[in-house]
Amino acid sequence: MIKPHGSDELNPLFVDNSEQRHALEAEAENLPSILLNSAAAANAVMLGGGYFNPLTGYMNLADAMAVAENMHTSSGLFFPVPVLNLTSEAGVEAGSRIALRDPNVEGNPVLAIMDVDAVESVTEEQIDFMAEKIFRTLDPNHPGVATFKSLGKTMLSGSIQVLNFSYFQADFPDTFRTAVEIRNEIAEHGWNKVVAFQTRNPMHRAHEELCRMAMEDLGTDGILIHMLLGKLKPGDIPAEVRDASIRKMVEVYFPENTVMITGYGFDMLYAGPREAVLHAVFRQNCGCSHLIVGRDHAGVGDYYGGFDAQTIFEEEVPEDALELQIYNADHTAYSKKLNKVVMMRDAPDHSKDDFVLLSGTAVREMLGKGIAPPPEFSRPEVAKILSDYYQLLDS
């Protein structure tokens, strides 16, 4: 199986030994504590699960600025985005040991314990520098920029020990998996070559067929459908609805033992190209050999070019930075001429009228009225689940 990023073995920061974990939980009750924001809490969950391997905790300001500028830490480790604990809380001192409390669970239980190496003030100019590099814009209407600029101006760096996985295990017991668990499951399947499909949305026919195309073109043993389970922007479909629709699609339309349906506990950044590279790091740490990168991967609005998330791997990611390889995909749609789903680049003789193309707004309006989109666009079983959700939403 492919090696994790940056090390020979995966280094998850979750304290797996129950006796040690209970001792740390008891210690945490007597430690000074801060309430994390959702972004820092999601970073802790991802560190705990091994997704941010080989990091041992939150980055300091020098590493954060270096990663924002050229995707390498001060010591030369390739990493696509800063992994930060930005806060507005005061009173934390360098050299202290503190409890990190979860903002997303009632009662704010301790999520992790942190050994604070440095407490640094971040200027507005430094925040803007990082935001512009990560998101390619400073537009306050960009949801990622708006979130990033609201996190605080005090940066806490240092190693952490993670004590739980926030609400993800409780809310998504059949879906949430750590990178460790995914690696183990891939090994149990006996798979050597695995392609990953990233999603924050339900999967329609085009997505389904894209997964098949990638599996066939690459000759993989299976596919990891890996959905984001954390915070999204308003209007995005909730994780539980997306989960149900994807499971139904796989159950009905994929052969048994060819698909792993999993999810991870992270808040969406909407960072387009940089987030696509982060997704590649996640999947290498999961043991996948390939990642599908399609049109407008991890994008939002019109902030990124349709294929910027592919060209960043060709133009900015060093050849030796990742072992995982990228499967570049074009926009995929049902061809009326060929009676099947194709990548548009593979049908140069087609006009737009030769494809079944529907906007997200049009699909939502149809589903909200209980009208199923054409079967060439969405499987009826998937459309039923989404229609029930939209009709409930609009009632």
- What average pLDDT does the structure give for the chain? 95
pLDDT digits (tens, 9 = 90+) for 330-387: 989 999 999 999 999 999 999 999 999 887 778 888 888 888 899 999 999 999 999 9
* In the chain, where the domains are located: 18-169, 173-394
**Which residue among 21, 200, 212, 364 is the active-site one?**
200
Lowest mean pLDDT among 122-131, 144-153, 279-288, 337-346: 337-346
CATH class of the 173-394 domain in this structure:
alpha beta
Tokens of 43: 């970073």
Q: Tell me what the mean pLDDT of segment 93-100 comes to.
A: 97
DSSP, residue by residue, 52-86: TTT--EE--HHHHHHHHHHSB-TT--B-SS----E
- pLDDT of 372 reads 86
18-169 is classed in which CATH architecture?
Roll (3.10)
Active site residue 11: no
Identify the CA nearest to 261 among candidates 223, 296, 230, 233: 223
**Which residue among 108, 192, 201, 328 is the active-site one?**
201
Cβ atoms within 10 Å, residue 62 = 14
Residue predicted with more confidence, 236 or 66? 66
Active site residue 85: no
Query: What percentage of the chain reaches a pLDDT higher than 90?
Result: 88
**pTM (whole model) above 0.85:** yes
